[in-house]
Amino acid sequence: MDEEERRQLDCEKRAVGLLARREHSQLELSRKLADRGFSADEIEPVLERLVEEGWQSDRRYAESLIRARSARRYGPDRIADELARQGVDEAVVAEAFAAEPRDWEALARDQLVSRYREPPEDFPDRARRHRHLVRRGFPPDLSHELAGWWPAPEEGDHGSL
């Protein structure tokens, strides 16, 4: 085995090792391999082979990231931005969002209840809540709609007695 084949094999071994821990986008994987000293000429054929064999998939990566970020109550805009920064194609992102449906309004409501312990008092408080939801990645129109929302008290819930 010559030096070039050995480097190629080492590159593939490292790539598979990274993918065994968690999903990676192609761009992320190529960056990590480049950081480990592999050249683009060594990385490209390895990535092509991993995609062909099903070891690496930007679609799986996108679905995985959507599940993970939405579990932490991040909105779709922030998740889509993160996927774009990781080099995932817009069409793949759209397919992944369709495959991983979420009730983003319910998620935004959960985030408000988690962050704030009482209903909004005035306009500045509603504006603060709106900004918070937008920073978390929820669409501005949904954030505006929910900025003044607060859950109705449950019947029989009389606070702390």
- Taking the model in full, what pTM does it have? 0.87
Is 155 contained in some domain?
no
Residue 74: closest CA among 37, 107, 122, 31? 107
Residues 52 and 14 placed together within one structural domain of the fold: yes
Q: Find the domain containing 131 and state its range.
A: 104-146
Residue 156 has pLDDT above 60, yes or no: no
Is 152 contained in some domain?
no
- The total number of structural domains in the chain stands at 3
Instruction: Name the one residue in this structure whose structure tokens are 């959507």.
Output: 66
- The residue-averaged pLDDT of 28-51 equals 95
Residue 97: closest CA among 122, 69, 125, 127? 69
Residues 20 and 48 placed together within one structural domain of the fold: yes
What CATH number has the domain bearing residue 45? 1.10.10.10
What CATH number has the domain bearing residue 73? 1.10.10
Which pLDDT band holds residue 161 (cuts at 50, 70, 90)? very low
Residues 32 and 46 placed together within one structural domain of the fold: yes
Question: Which phi and psi angles does 30 have, rounded to 5°?
Answer: -65, -35
Mean pLDDT of all residues in the chain? 93
Give residue-wise pLDDT tens across range 107-124.
999 999 999 999 999 999
For residues 153 and 11, the model is more confident at: 11
Question: Which phi and psi angles does 127 have, rounded to 5°?
Answer: -65, -40
The pLDDT value recorded for residue 90 is 97
Residues 118 and 95 placed together within one structural domain of the fold: no
